[in-house]
Amino acid sequence: MVTYKLPELFSPDEGQLVALPANPNLPGYSVYSYIRAAGKAPLTYTFNNSRSGQPFSGFDKPLSELWSDTLGLLMEQAEEEDERIIEGGLPVEYTREISFEGIDYKFLISKFPFTTSGGESFLLSSFRNVTFFLDSINEIGSRKVLFSLVAENMSDVFCVVDMDARIAFLSASIKKLTGYSAEELAAIPVSHLLTPESLETGLKIWSRFKDPVENGADALAENKPELFEIEFIRADKVKRWAEVTAATFSGPDGCILGVHGLIRDITERKARHDAMRSSLKHEIELSNVKSKYISTISHEFRTPLSIIYSNLQLLENHRFQLDAETINDAFELSRMAVKSLLRVLDKVTVIDAVNKGKLEFKPAMADMEKLCRNLVKDLNEMEMVPDRIDLIIHQIPSEVWIDESLFSHIFTNLLLNALNFSDKKQRVQFEISMISSDSAGFVITDHGIGIPEEEMNYIFEPFYRTSNARNARGSGLGLAVVRDCLKLHNGEISFESSLGVGSVFKVILPVTRDSRATE
C-alpha cells in the first residue's frame, strides 16, 4: 500500500484531498475517469457507471456535446501533465472553466498517482462537472468554501486495489462514508466492516476479478464493470448501504494489475425503494383481497339465490300439482336461503364497519340466557339436520351488561363454524358460566375436522380458509368478525384443536359496567 502526504490544495489549514464522484441527484453532475500507466496511453475509460475502450464513444449512453467538447480540450495536454504528476508522485486537483454555447461550465480535475506492489506507476484521473456547486456560492474563487462544499456534501469514495487485495489508493471521503480513516480501515478485517451477506457478495465479485488473472488472461477489454450493493457497518456501529461500481485495469503489457472503483452511499435511496416496494406489495395484496372478496361473496350468494330461484320456478310452474307438504318445504328452503344471505351480509357489514372505524360498542342490560337460547334456536332451525347444539347454562345473572349485536355476531359465527366443519351426525356443545363476578366464560366444543397446527396463526384473518376446509361452505369471514367484535367488547378468545378430533373455542367476556370501566 502506498501512503501519500497530500499537499494543501484548498487552503493552508485544510491539509487533505477530497474527491468529487458522480451524484445523479445533482443537476449536470457526472464523472469521467481513466487510469494510465507511466509512458502509456489509457486502456479504458469510464463515464459514471459505464466503461469503454475509447475515450469519446462506446459508453452505455453517448456523451453529450458538452462532455465531448470539454474532453477534447482537457485531453489535449493530459498526457504531458499526467507524466509530470506520475513522476512527481503527488496528487493534483484544480478547477477549469469551459465555455459552451455561451455558458460557462466549471470542471474539477483530480489526478492521483499510485504505485502497485510490483513497483509500476499509474495515474487515476477524473474530470467532474461541478458547475452546480460553484454556482451555488457567491464567491466562486473561494477555495475554502469550495472545500467546505465538497467535504460536507460528498460521501462517495474513489479507491484502487491491487490483485493481492491491498489498497493502493483511497480518497479521503472514506472518513465521511464509514467513520474510519484510510489508515484505520487498513487495520480492520473486512469481515468486521460488512454484514455476512454482503461479505459473501463481495467475495463472489472479487473471485470474478481474480479468476482471469489466475487463468493467465490478459484481455482487459473483455472484463465488464461490476455494479453491486453491500451493507456495511460504520465506526458508530450504524449499518448503511453502498453501491459499488468496480472494474479491472491493466499494465502496459496488458496484464490485469488491479481494480478501481467508486463507492456511493445509497442508504436513503434504498430506503425509498424499499418503501415503494412495500407499498406496491401492499397494493397487490389489497388487490388480491378485493378479488378474493368478490369471488367469495359471489360464491356465498350464488348457492342460496339458486335455491330461492329454483323453488320459485317450482311453485310457478307446478303449484297446482304440488301437495301442501312439498309447497311448505319449498317455502322453508327459501326462507333458510334468505337467512343464509342475511348472515353473509351481516359479516360483510361488520368487516366494512370495522375498516371504516364505524363499528361501535353500545352496551345495555340484557337477559344473556334468553339471548343464547334464541341464538341456538335460530341456528338449529336453519340446519338441514336440526337440534345439533347442546346448550348448557350454569348459574348466571338474570341480566348482564353487554352489546347484544356484538354478542350475537360473536357466538353466531363461532357456532356456525362448529356446525359447518363437523359431520352432520356430530353434536356441538355450547357451555356458559360465570368465571368471576364480572366476567362470563363461553366454551364451544365440536368434533369436526380440526385446524392444521401450521395454520393456526392465520384463522382470524379475513377470507382465510384452512387447507382442509376449502371444500366446506363458508365465506372465511366468520372468525374475522369474531375477532373484531371481541376487541370492541374487551373480550378474549383462545382455542385448542387437533386434526380429525375437533376444536374447542373459549371466550371470556366482561358482563358488568364496572369491568368495562376498569379496562
**Tell me, what's the pLDDT at 185?**
85
- Among 30-44, 124-138, 203-217, 275-289, top mean pLDDT goes to 30-44
DSSP string, 86-138: HHHT--EEEEEEEEETTEEEEEEEEEEEEE-TTS-EEEEEEEEE-HHHHHTSS
Which residue in 97, 164, 101 sits closest to 130, CA to CA? 97
**Tell me, what's the pLDDT at 1?**
28
Which residue in 98, 111, 96, 93 sits closest to 147, CA to CA? 93
Class assignment of domain 360-519?
Answer: alpha beta
Q: For residue 515, is pLDDT > 90?
A: no
CA 276 to each of CA 235, 272, 279, 280, 282: distance values in angstroms, whole numbers, following the listed order = 29, 6, 5, 6, 10
Sign of CA dihedral 32, 38, 42, 44: negative
Q: For residue 265, is pLDDT > 60?
A: yes
CA 172 to each of CA 13, 23, 139, 176, 190: distance values in angstroms, whole numbers, following the listed order = 16, 17, 25, 8, 19
Mean pLDDT, range 89-107, rounded to an integer:
86
Mean pLDDT, range 21-45, rounded to an integer:
70
Class assignment of domain 31-265?
Answer: alpha beta
Q: For residue 291, is pLDDT > 60?
A: yes
**Axis-axis angle for helices 324-355, 478-488 (nearest 10):** 50
Q: For residue 88, is pLDDT > 60?
A: yes
DSSP string, 209-243: HHHHHHTT---GGGPPPEEEEEEEE-TTS-EEEEE
Which one is predicted more confidently, 310 or 136? 310
The amino acid present at 247, given as its one-letter code, is A
Interval 355-368: pLDDT, tens: 677 778 889 999 99
Give the single-character DSSP code of 55. Answer: S
Q: For residue 10, is pLDDT > 80?
A: no
**Tell me, what's the pLDDT at 499?**
92
Which one is predicted more confidently, 513 or 518? 513
Q: Which residue has the cell 359447518?
A: 420
**Tell me, what's the pLDDT at 252?**
66
Q: For residue 2, is pLDDT > 80?
A: no
Percent of the chain at pLDDT exceeding 70: 80
Interval 204-263: pLDDT, tens: 999 888 877 666 655 444 457 788 999 999 999 999 999 998 888 776 667 777 888 888
Chain-centroid distance, C-alpha 102? 47
Average pLDDT, the chain: 79
**Tell me, what's the pLDDT at 292?**
65
Rounded to an integer, what distance in angstroms lies between the CA atom of residue 308 and that of residue 328? 13
Interval 422-450: pLDDT, tens: 888 899 999 999 999 999 999 999 999 99
Tell me the pairing of strands 103-115 and 92-100: antiparallel
Helices then strands, counting H and E runs in the chain, come out as 13, 18
Domain ranges of the chain: 31-265, 360-519
Interval 455-471: pLDDT, tens: 999 899 877 888 887 66
**Tell me, what's the pLDDT at 134?**
63
Q: Which residue has the cell 317455502?
A: 331
Interval 108-159: pLDDT, tens: 888 888 877 677 888 888 888 877 666 654 443 444 444 444 444 455 788 8
Q: For residue 103, is pLDDT > 80?
A: yes
CA 307 to each of CA 164, 290, 322, 332: distance values in angstroms, whole numbers, following the listed order = 80, 26, 18, 11
